[in-house]
Amino acid sequence: MQCFIVPLTANQGRGACVLRRSAGSCHLGTRAGLRQRTGRLQRVAQPLCSAAKVPGQYLQVELGSTPHQGRLGLHAAQKLETGQVVASVEVAAALVSERHGNAVTTPDAASDDARWEAAAELALRLVLETIQNESSSWIDYVENVCRKREFYVNHPLLWDASRSRLFRGTALETRRETLRRELVSWLEERRRSSVLPVDTFSASAFLRAVALVLDRGTWFADVGRWVLAPPLDECRPTGREDATVRFQWVRKRLLGGREEIHLICTKDVLTGAELRYHARVADAIDFFLQYGYFEEHSNPDSARKLRECVGLVTLAFEISRLDRFYDDKVDILQQQQQQQRIDATSEDELAGQTFVVAASDLTSEALQAAENPLSAMVQFLRLLCLSGSDAFLLEGLFRDEVWEFLALPVSEGNERMVCELVLASCEERMQALDEAQALCEENFSPELKQAAQLVQEAERTTLRAIMTYFRNELTSLREKEYYHERRLRALDLYRPLDPDEIHDADATGFDQYM
């Protein structure tokens, strides 16, 4: 006997679910392609939540009763065991992104670019399906989901200017704006290269569809596809280690090689416990950009990692074109780029560089690492601040070695300028955060305010750590060894003179050697 759960069609009430029993094992399916069977289903159908109370070995999951972050959640209707398939949806009944040159452009289907591009492709399919097919069952689905999430106005991809100002200048906002810009560019490219209906939907409608796919869809890295498979999309994601289920794309050997999406337990689950799947995200910011919220962490170590991730500080510096040594400094950067075999960038990108610093970059171990962003920033700033008596290092004689020299302090004056420049930049960023904090008093949703406050306070913590580090550097300037001292030491001249090296200044001719 089999349980087959499908959403009710429009005349039955949008977003509800019904139960149909047939031979076989438990099987969850979607509404797509089932309208013609509505009459037969109605005779044996009942809502999923009440059907979950019907005794039987075939019903293994049930919907929750209270929406959270737009989902009802899936709960265990009975005790579940590790490796058990608790629900499945036929791929033919789901909405799936294509896997071809336009959807996945790299051989590595697990790559981050492939994930975002496949999400955009599925979002476009969803938009066109709801526009071009008036009888599509996905229209009801989209309206129901958007109503649960308030049309996704709080999703990062759909923020207006007032919402983005809450996060202005943060690493999160930088990544959000970059992603949004790339998605819109992807859409425009598709419109130029195909026969998409240009005037039938806006970029905002497309971004809303992308938000829906990212929020409700499942990314299968092994096949390079996004899948929307209701009602499995009611299962909530987690970035923590307490996930209890996983999704798997399965091809049946029998039944004509039918493909299914399986929901499989990864650990034993007690009756009534909510099922959570592990989100395929890079970090907490990635989780926020995909689902629109930060998870709560009761574990102190997890909470610290979250604050560290969202508390990244972005510091930008630029060599002014008014600098009399501008050409020499840019030439040094270009030469260094060639030596490291880095793809060529424009002159403006070399002269103006951005550095992302985390609190963990300030530990003694991290400061010794070769790829520490703080060390790279200071090296760039020493070049930027080269002037006066230190400018001799810009001569062609030192061109092949100057970048290596700049890895260590040049002079006390140069080092002071570097520290003061960083401190001034941090103070400016602190003022911007204070202005953003004042905006939290406006009429935004509690979840958005909470996320903004978390990011702002985490960045303040990192800024304070950076400022403390460079203030300590200022107080220890006289204790450092600078370029001229290192040079004299290399020539064995930075030491007290031996007595036989001291000669009579009044001696003449060969008398001084007597």
User: What is the b/e burial string over 488-513, where b = at least 16 CB atoms within 10 angstroms of the residue's CB?
Assistant: eeeeeeeeeeeeeeeeeeeeeeeeee
Q: What is the CATH number of the domain that holds 260?
A: 2.170.270.10
Claim to verify: residue 200 and residue 264 sit in the same structural domain: no
506 lies in a domain? no
Q: Which of 182, 204, 226 is the last residue of a domain?
A: 226
For strand 85-90 and strand 218-220, is the pairing parallel, antiparallel, or unpaired?
unpaired
Is the distance from CB of 439 to CB of 416 less than 8 angstroms?
A: no
Q: What is the CATH number of the domain that holds 400?
A: 3.90.1420.10
Q: Name the band, by pLDDT with cuts 50, 70 and 90, for residue 409.
A: very high
Q: Which residues contact 457 (CB under 8 A, 6 or more apart)?
A: 307, 311
Report the pLDDT value the prediction gives residue 504, as an integer from 0 to 100.
Answer: 62
Question: pLDDT, tens digit, for every residue of 138-156?
Answer: 888 888 888 776 767 788 9
Claim to verify: residue 108 and residue 85 sit in the same structural domain: no
Angle, vertex CA 123, rays to CA 119 and CA 128, nearest 5: 150
User: Which range has highest mean pLDDT (58-62, 79-83, 363-367, 438-442)?
Assistant: 79-83
495 lies in a domain? no
Q: Which residues contact 93 (CB under 8 A, 6 or more apart)?
A: 29, 30, 32, 33, 34, 229
7 lies in a domain? yes
Tell me which amino acid residue 6 is. Answer: V
Crossing angle of helices 138-148 and 112-132, rounded to 10°: 120
Average pLDDT over residues 45-70: 52
For strand 352-357 and strand 313-318, is the pairing parallel, antiparallel, or unpaired?
antiparallel
| The 17-22 sheet, strands edge to edge | 17-22, 2-7, 27-28
Tell me the two tokens of residue 324: 């009399």
Q: Is 493 helix (H, G, I), strand (E, B) or coil?
A: coil
Question: pLDDT, tens digit, for every residue of 153-195?
Answer: 788 999 988 889 889 889 899 999 999 999 999 999 888 887 7
Q: Name the band, by pLDDT with cuts 50, 70 and 90, for residue 121.
A: very high
Claim to verify: residue 203 and residue 82 sit in the same structural domain: no
- In 377-428, which ranges are E strands? none
Q: Which of 315, 288, 264, 253 is nearest to 469 (CA)?
A: 315
Question: pLDDT, tens digit, for every residue of 259-284?
Answer: 889 999 999 999 999 999 999 888 99
Claim to verify: residue 220 and residue 322 sit in the same structural domain: no
Claim to verify: residue 401 and residue 349 sit in the same structural domain: yes
What domain range includes position 86?
1-94+229-281
CA 382, CA 391: separation in Å to the nearest integer?
Answer: 11
Is the distance from CB of 44 to CB of 69 less than 8 angstroms?
A: no
User: Taking 80 as the threshold, does the pLDDT of residue 417 lie above it?
Assistant: yes
Angle, vertex CA 509, rays to CA 506 and CA 514, nearest 5: 80
Average pLDDT over residues 249-268: 84
291 lies in a domain? no
Claim to verify: residue 261 and residue 339 sit in the same structural domain: no
* Reported pTM: 0.76
Q: Which of 242, 263, 281 is the last residue of a domain?
A: 281
Report the pLDDT value the prediction gives residue 506, as an integer from 0 to 100.
Answer: 62
Claim to verify: residue 345 and residue 477 sit in the same structural domain: yes
Claim to verify: residue 83 and residue 114 sit in the same structural domain: no
159 lies in a domain? yes
H-helix or E-strand spanning residue 265: strand 259-265
Report the pLDDT value the prediction gives residue 445, as an integer from 0 to 100.
Answer: 83
Report the pLDDT value the prediction gives residue 144, as an integer from 0 to 100.
Answer: 82
Claim to verify: residue 476 and residue 339 sit in the same structural domain: yes
508 lies in a domain? no
Residue 61 CA, chain-centre distance (Å), reads 31
Q: Which residues contact 504 (CB under 8 A, 6 or more apart)?
A: 511, 512
| The 218-220 sheet, strands edge to edge | 95-96, 225-228, 218-220
Question: pLDDT, tens digit, for every residue of 340-392?
Answer: 766 657 888 888 999 999 989 998 888 888 789 999 999 999 999 999 999 89
Q: Name the band, by pLDDT with cuts 50, 70 and 90, for residue 399.
A: confident
Average pLDDT over residues 416-434: 95
Tell me the two tokens of residue 217: 């869809």
Burial of 205 (0-12, 13-18, 19+ CB in 10 A): middle
Rounded to a whole number, what is the distance in angstroms from the first to the last CA of the chain? 115
**Could you give the number of structural domains in the chain?**
3
- In 70-122, which ranges are E strands? 74-76, 85-90, 95-96
pLDDT exceeding 90 applies to what percent of the chain? 38
Is the distance from CB of 187 to CB of 209 less than 8 angstroms?
A: no
Claim to verify: residue 474 and residue 333 sit in the same structural domain: yes
Q: Name the band, by pLDDT with cuts 50, 70 and 90, for residue 317.
A: very high
Q: Which of 226, 242, 269 is the last residue of a domain?
A: 226
Report the pLDDT value the prediction gives residue 493, as an integer from 0 to 100.
Answer: 65
Query: How many other C-beta atoms can be found within 10 angstroms of the C-beta atom of residue 361?
Result: 24
Q: Would you state the torsion angle of the CA atoms of residues 451, 457, 458, 459, taken in this order, to the nearest 10 degrees?
A: 110
Claim to verify: residue 193 and residue 219 sit in the same structural domain: yes
User: Which range has highest mean pLDDT (43-57, 395-409, 462-476)?
Assistant: 462-476
240 lies in a domain? yes
Angle, vertex CA 371, rays to CA 109 and CA 294, nearest 5: 55
Residue the block writes with tokens 């200071």: 378
Report the pLDDT value the prediction gives residue 209, as an integer from 0 to 100.
Answer: 92
H-helix or E-strand spanning residue 219: strand 218-220
Claim to verify: residue 120 and residue 168 sit in the same structural domain: yes
140 lies in a domain? yes
CA 194, CA 191: separation in Å to the nearest integer?
Answer: 6
